[in-house]
Amino acid sequence: MQDDRPLDRRQLDDLLDALLPFAHQLLDKHGEFFPFGGAMGRDGKVTMVAGDTGTEHPPSDEVMELIREAMRRDRDKYVAVGLCYEVRVRTSPDAPPTDATCVSLEHRSGLAVDVFEPYAKRVTGMEYGSLSAQQGRKTVFGL
């Protein structure tokens, strides 16, 4: 079967497919996670990117900025980057806020998208909702 998606979209989907399962592993094991990133090299391989502030419980914003700085520094090596972090979202206008994973994806072509996956902690384990997406911001290649 032929894949009619443009190359940049396929690469962002592949990066999402690498990052989201890792977020699931962390949530299933710990119930939370610190922000982390991934970068797809020109060869299509994904490398994980972390940020260490030197403190045990750093603010997520500081970790995210360290990851973005590392990605910007090496952006010539990458075709796509992604940053994974926890947020609160509304699944509908009248719904209460719920926990969600956000994966902010960016391609060197200029495509940027934020993908959200709501989740809930249940007695039987984590329950994951449907993915949704919106246009993202360019924070690595767009600068």
Query: How many domains does the structure of the chain reveal?
Result: 1
Does residue 129 lie in a domain region?
yes
Q: Is the pLDDT of residue 105 over 80?
A: yes
pLDDT tier for residue 7 given thresholds of 50, 70 and 90 = confident
- pLDDT value of residue 16: 97
- pLDDT value of residue 53: 67
Q: What percent of the chain has pLDDT over 90?
A: 69
Does residue 117 lie in a domain region?
yes
Q: Is the pLDDT of residue 106 over 70?
A: yes
pLDDT tier for residue 142 given thresholds of 50, 70 and 90 = confident
Give the range of the structural domain holding residue 67, as residue numbers without chain letter.
Answer: 7-135
Does residue 83 lie in a domain region?
yes
Q: Is the pLDDT of residue 24 over 90?
A: yes
Q: Is the pLDDT of residue 112 over 90?
A: yes
Those residues with Cβ within 8 angstroms of residue 128's Cβ, 6 or more apart along the chain or in another chain: 24, 117, 118, 119
Asked whether the whole model's pTM tops 0.85, one would answer: yes
Does residue 124 lie in a domain region?
yes
Does residue 73 lie in a domain region?
yes
Residue 121 parent element (H or E): strand 112-122
pLDDT tier for residue 4 given thresholds of 50, 70 and 90 = low
Does residue 143 lie in a domain region?
no
